[in-house]
Amino acid sequence: AVVSTQSGHYGRDDKINEAIADQMSRITHVSNVLLHPKISEYSEEMRKKFPKDSNLSVIYFCNSGSEANDLAMMMARAYTGYLNIVGLRRAYHGASAANIQLTAMPLYRAAAMPITN
């Protein structure tokens, strides 16, 4: 399922409405699941903005914040070899099985299985 994202402007700004309409006329949804040629074009334009000395070269598109946080945790674990992840107070990182462990709400954490060793 594809979910709508709220821009927060509620139609009050004509420039924003025109930009949204223009974008929607070109491509309505980009996903790492639904392939479209614009994804590679957009990726290349993003890569051009990376700092030259950063060694950054890969872009991974995610469908949600939960998916992005899952990916960040997997990458951190793969890079460092450590399994434990620190979650911040008053934080919400998503409701996936991995992210729920990091949320600040004890009720959520208690209902999930531990993901650390």
Give pLDDT tens digits for 37-69. Answer: 878 888 899 999 999 898 888 888 887 888 888
Check residue 31 and give its pLDDT. 65
Check residue 62 and give its pLDDT. 82
| Residue with token string 């070109």 | 26
CA distance 100 to 107: 10
Check residue 1 and give its pLDDT. 44
State whether the Cα torsion 110-113-65-7 is positive or negative. Answer: negative
Check residue 80 and give its pLDDT. 95
pLDDT of 34 over the 80 cut: no
Which pair of tokens denotes residue 18?
């025109």
